[in-house]
Structure 1
């Protein structure tokens, strides 16, 4: 079953290759979506795909790449999107 989640990740998550690492992890897990920097210093990540892999990605977001220092991850479910790639912006 395909699911989509939007996560807002706060902490030291900009300027530490968070989005690129998220993209690599999502591709490895076969997920689509995006990772975008927000003006408040957070990163918004949408992941869509099989529920088990999406949950693995959400768990990964709690740590992020080695350089990151994640304070919090807020997750909300959203309607499945018909996209087949993972972009960063």
Structure 2
């Protein structure tokens, strides 16, 4: 199962990518996270439904310094990622 999630709000410069990577690895998810030029954070995750739903719940809050306003969630095609990476 694959989800692409755009996280909107105060989500850059607050350790969002590193925290997202840690949570994804904890949940056994694969994929990546990166900052976007428009100030959002884009996350692509793959795994079982339970883990993806847990990650979506966590992304609604983010790390302590973040102020998440909205999640835009799209179901995508599985790409069979090997790990969870922070992209530049």
TM-score (norm: length of structure 2): 0.96
CA distance in 1, matches of 2:57, 2:2: 14
Gaps of 5+ in 1: none
Alpha-carbon RMSD? 0.6
Instruction: State how 1:34-73 maps to structure 2 within 5 Å.
Output: 34-73=32-71
Q: Distance in 2 between matches of 1:39 and 1:64?
A: 19
Gapped runs of 5+ residues in structure 2? Answer: none
Number of residue pairs matched by the alignment: 87
In 2, distance between residues paired with 1:13 and 1:31?
20
TM-score calculated relative to the size of structure 1: 0.95
Structure 1 segments of 4+ aligned residues over 3 angstroms from their partners = none
